[in-house]
Amino acid sequence: MERARLTLITIFFFICSFPGTALAEEKNPPPVTQLPPVVVSPQSVDTTPSEMNAQTERLFKTPGAHLDPLRAVQALPGVTTASDYSNAPAIRGSAPDDNAYYIDFIPARYLFHDFGTSILNENLIRSFDLYPAAFSSQYNNATGAVIDVGLRDPRHQAFTTTLDWSFLNTGLLLESEINKNQAFYASYRRSLIDKFLDKKDVVDKDSGIEVNKLPVYDDYQFKYLWKLNNEHQLSAVAAGASDKVAATFLQNSNEAMRDPDFAGPASRIRGFDSQGFMWNYLPGDGNSRLKTLLTHTTENDSVRYGAGQFTTVDTSRELLRTHYGRQLTKTHWLTTGLGAEKTRYKINVRAKIVPCSSFDPDCPTIDAPLYQFQQSLNSNTITGYVEDKWQITKQLLFTSGMNYTTDDYLDQQAWQPRFHLRYTLNDAWTINSAIGRYAQSPQLQEIANFIGNPKLHYITANHYVLGLENKLSRDWSWTLDTYYKDLHNVVIGIQDNSRGDLASNYSNDAAGRAYGMEFLLNRKLTQKWDGWLAVSLSKTERRDERSGKTRPFDYDRPVMINWVTNYHHNKNWIFGAKWSLRSGGLYTPIVDVRANTNNPAITEPVYGRLNSERLPIYHRLDLRAEYFTPVRIGELSLFTDLLNAYDQRNLEGYTFSPNGTNLESSTPDGFGTNVPTSANEGLPFFLSIGFKLQF
């Protein structure tokens, strides 16, 4: 199941090598309940619910982000990705799957397209917050970080149309008020890569891959807001997205040469559709708040390849979630919440599957058994939380909370206490400290019958954070954060029967830790300049308790530096630059090759020590220019991005290439001289232009 998905990423790599439901803001909100989000922001934040706040607008201007703050997050401290073609962030040593994502109070499992941007139209985003560790009790099912995105309310304005176009995608946004109490917006976007590129020219003819359908993605959002009176608001929301790609793996492709059963047509289709209602109650006295959500979501994920192999997963979710906060005294604010989710999976599999995890350098299927089955998996999850914010003194704020999670499929429960202390020394200096426990359910393929182990436990983590903030002046400030995360019950694929549990496929016999220091120097917008410098020093590793071996984790990047600056020349022009440097990614060298025992015609790699080698340092410069001007029918903005402006060749990994295509001229560090190897490269120099017209 997982092997099929990972292999199809090959299609995206070749193709991308040619890149051509909101709630109103609470009245008189209480102080922040968690460590300040790691977002670069000015001192004041716009809380108008129908407009983007200032901190998010600033992220929009990050060069190379294509006006998408979910891509701009890569310029913040402690954030990296697997490659230039992957947007899912790895934060403070945690994998992307360790994170939780929320869109307008709704837990989101599909936030990024397989390539390109996030699934959200940038014109609809109101707020964007990143909590890299020790997040508050209202968030659950994550051991890494939390990204919380808020969509704005529809504006009460005359009917307005907004058109977006770039080489990557095009979009249409319609927005209008219906009357003084009702308004709506509707957005649709579609990718354009398939319109600019010829699928015959996308991959080398000797690679053994024929592209049948270039990647296509689309997404939509809809919101209708009805203000019943000054205290009650009702919203109807809908959202969806899809990704499609198709190719054929020929007999001379690397995949088919390692497993002939992989030869043949291959496709990946995935998507979701959701609908929901939200009720927001905001009493005029500002002493309490209540919001309730009811939503239904359907998801589909289908992978087909080779000799009639496929995995399809259809998912249906119903979620009821409510949140209540009340000011008990002048120094106490109490927040409580409850959620109930019913999930139904329909799984249909005919595929050769190997239980794999991050402890395995490869997942060969040549000798794997062929699974063929259908099953339904039902899970009912209950979550609850309570949090008390106590202003002990004028300088000291203490927050304590508890999150409780249980589900009836794994028959697990987790109590997760969390604490945060914020001490303001004076107008310039502030100290933050936090500690918390977090739990997360394993991935679907790890707990499904036949291919997984339904007796796995929750993965757990303890987070420790100590931070210092200093306002140097009205324009300059800096923060210094230190953190430590330790993980337990990490899932590992079972590859031997030393403990008599080979048939279980997966176990919780692994652990891990991540620790580091992050420095952020920030200049807010004054005298036409703004920007920030982010420096991260870190270490992350995983331990296989079955073998006793500890290895660096896939996302270990000891050094990361991001420098971002924007120059506001006048009211019409903005120029920006972003320069990034980080330690190269880890890889496991192939020290030799050998003939497969059961199929001597198949050559397979012999791997060395896991993650024992590191790629060269990654660095890249992105430049941006944006021009704004009124036109007769409305407002027009034009932009151009130069990605990887000095065309740096950034290596992102090596591939075992028995077909002999695009081989490296020199042997990579750690590899045997007889091993055929090709390099996976990051984004080359790329020019992107686009416009936005509102009328």
DSSP category for residue 81: -
SS3 675: coil
User: Distance between CA atoms of 20 and 643, rounded to whole angstroms?
Assistant: 11
Residues 6 or more apart in contact with residue 516 via CB below 8 angstroms: 78, 92, 93, 482, 483, 536, 537, 538, 539
pTM over cut 0.85: yes
User: Distance between CA atoms of 567 and 578, rounded to whole angstroms?
Assistant: 12
Q: How confident is the model at residue 67 (pLDDT cuts 50, 70, 90)?
A: low
Q: What mean pLDDT is predicted for residues 357-372?
A: 91
Residue 127 is predicted with a pLDDT of 86
Which one-letter amino acid corresponds to residue 302?
S
SS3 86: coil
DSSP category for residue 444: H
Is the separation of the CB atoms in 462 and 418 below 8 Å?
A: no
Is the per-residue pLDDT at 382 higher than 60?
yes
Residues 6 or more apart in contact with residue 528 via CB below 8 angstroms: 567, 568, 569
Residue 25 is predicted with a pLDDT of 32
Q: C-alpha distances in angstroms, 579 versus 17, 56, 428, 558?
A: 21, 20, 29, 17
Q: C-alpha distances in angstroms, 269 versus 86, 242, 313, 509?
A: 17, 7, 11, 33
Q: Which two tokens stand for residue 353?
A: 């599957």
Is the separation of the CB atoms in 650 and 619 below 8 Å?
A: yes
Which one-letter amino acid corresponds to residue 59?
L
pLDDT in tens, 25-60: 333 333 333 334 433 333 333 457 877 777 777 777
Question: In the chain, what are the domains?
Answer: 2-694 (2.40.170.20)
At which residue do the structure tokens 């004076």 appear?
426
User: Distance between CA atoms of 32 and 630, rounded to whole angstroms?
Assistant: 38
More confident: 478 or 529? 478
Lowest mean pLDDT among 1-10, 360-369, 505-514, 613-622: 1-10
Mark out the alpha helices in 372-485 (DSSP H runs). Answer: 444-447
Ordered DSSP codes for 118-176: BSS-GGGEEEEEEE-SS--TT--S-SS-EEEEEEPPPP-SS-EEEEEEESSEEEEEEEE
SS3 98: helix
The C-alpha angle 30, 31, 36, rounded to 5 degrees, equals 140
User: Distance between CA atoms of 557 and 665, rounded to whole angstroms?
Assistant: 27
Strand 169-179 with 125-131, pairing = unpaired
Please name which of 466, 676, 516, 582 lies closest in space to residue 35, comparing C-alpha atoms.
466
At which residue do the structure tokens 């095009």 appear?
170
User: Distance between CA atoms of 656 and 658, rounded to whole angstroms?
Assistant: 6
Lowest mean pLDDT among 94-98, 179-183, 202-206, 383-387: 202-206
User: Distance between CA atoms of 346 and 449, rounded to whole angstroms?
Assistant: 12
The C-alpha angle 56, 58, 60, rounded to 5 degrees, equals 75
Measured over the CA atoms of residue 448, residue 451, residue 455 and residue 459, the dihedral's sign is: negative
Please name which of 374, 319, 301, 380 lies closest in space to residue 344, comparing C-alpha atoms.
380
Q: What mean pLDDT is predicted for residues 381-408?
A: 96
Q: Which two tokens stand for residue 82?
A: 């697997």
Ordered DSSP codes for 633-673: TEEEEEEEEEETTT----EEEEEE-TT--SB-SSPPTT--T
**Percent of the chain's residues with pLDDT above 70:** 92
DSSP category for residue 503: G
CB atoms within 10 A of CB 579: 19
Is the per-residue pLDDT at 363 higher than 80?
yes
Residue 6 is predicted with a pLDDT of 39
Residue 8 is predicted with a pLDDT of 42
User: Distance between CA atoms of 100 and 115, rounded to whole angstroms?
Assistant: 19
Q: How confident is the model at residue 271 (pLDDT cuts 50, 70, 90)?
A: very high
Ordered DSSP codes for 331-350: TEEEEEEEEEEEEEEEEEEE
At which residue do the structure tokens 């590129």 appear?
197
User: Distance between CA atoms of 332 and 350, rounded to whole angstroms?
Assistant: 56
- b or e along 2-12 (b: 16 or more beta carbons within 10 Å of the residue's beta carbon)? bbbeebbbbbb
Cα 196 to its chain centre, rounded Å, is 27
Residue 525 is predicted with a pLDDT of 76
DSSP category for residue 285: T
Q: How confident is the model at residue 544 (pLDDT cuts 50, 70, 90)?
A: very high
Average pLDDT, the chain: 88
Which one-letter amino acid corresponds to residue 419?
F
User: Distance between CA atoms of 310 and 433, rounded to whole angstroms?
Assistant: 48
318 strand-pairing partners = 296, 342
Strand 288-305 with 309-329, pairing = antiparallel
Can you count the helices (H) and strands (E) in the chain? 6, 35
Residue 537 is predicted with a pLDDT of 97
User: Distance between CA atoms of 31 and 14, rounded to whole angstroms?
Assistant: 48
Is the separation of the CB atoms in 616 and 654 below 8 Å?
A: no
User: Distance between CA atoms of 522 and 533, rounded to whole angstroms?
Assistant: 7
Q: Which two tokens stand for residue 245?
A: 């790609």
The dihedral region occupied by 572, where left means phi > 0, alpha psi between -120 and 50, and beta the remainder, is alpha
Please name which of 265, 245, 260 lies closest in space to residue 352, comparing C-alpha atoms.
260
Strand 590-595 with 603-607, pairing = antiparallel
347 strand-pairing partners = 313, 375
Cα 95 to its chain centre, rounded Å, is 9
